[in-house]
A = this chain, B = another copy of it.
Amino acid sequence: MIDLFIIKVGGNVIDNPELLQTFLDKFAAIPGKKILIHGGGKIATRIGDQLGIKSNYVDGRRITDAATIDLVTMVYGGLVNKQLVAQLQARSCNAIGLTGADANIIPAEKRPVKEIDYGFVGDVQPDMLQTGPLKALLEAGVTPVFAPLTHDGNGQMLNTNADTIASSLAIALSDRYQVRLIYCFEKKGVLSDPNDDNAVINLINKEIYQQLLENKVLSDGILPKLQNAFGAIGNGVKEVLIGHADDVLSNTTGTVAGTLIC
């Protein structure tokens, strides 16, 4: 019996006021314990442009320089996060906005410089997560809402992948809860035919996953999500669900839409 829902929503929903309102309605309606992890969205780029902070790419990878980490701390950790909290409060969902620095919940390491210096990007240290205060909040009926930020323990905030924060929290909280980790994205689920948006594979287990890999059915975009999902399953998370926000939040018991990984 699932007793904790951990839901990651991406920038595409954050950026779209209509999608966001629908998402928040559905999220707030989920009964029981839940955690939201939100991505960034394009608003940081827009505000950065106005402040003369250029998006910086090396080999197609985004670099987080000193100006950019301050920008995303401000926009993701402040504006986006607190607006989500206020809007969830308006829906009687008792949200609390956090980053990984808060209560030292998600310690991270600044990514080591190899071929590329990613700047102030944090790699989560999965064994170091501090879940005590987080559990106290959940038990007090509060819903944590995480911005995609962590810290290095030496006073520096770090930009961190929201998918990774979601799976790390799911794994760390599996010692106490039966966790369903839900990744909301643009598609209805994992597709058996990348050109047919309705060709959703409803269930993937290890055997089916191997078969899909061998038959080269999966698109490049979905592979990291599935690896992440099986990583979570292999570390105690009960279920991972991938699909469109409209579907995957509607039915939290019984049959589910999207792709269930278990």
Residues of A within 8 A of B (CB): 47, 50-52, 70, 73-79, 81-83, 85-87, 89-90, 94-99, 101-104, 132-133, 136-137, 139-142, 149, 151, 153-157
Contacts and interface: CB of A to CB of B under 8 A. Distances in A.
8 tightest Cβ-Cβ pairs between the two chains A and B = A78-B78, A90-B155, A74-B79, A74-B78, A77-B78, A96-B102, A96-B103, A87-B155
Contacts of A155: 83, 86-87, 89-90
A70 B74 contact: no
- The DSSP consensus for interface residues of chain A is helix
15 contacts: A76-B78, A77-B79, A77-B82, A78-B78, A78-B79, A82-B101, A82-B102, A82-B149, A82-B157, A83-B155, A90-B155, A96-B133, A103-B140, A133-B140, A133-B141
Contacts of A75: 74, 78
Contacts of A89: 101, 104, 151, 153, 155
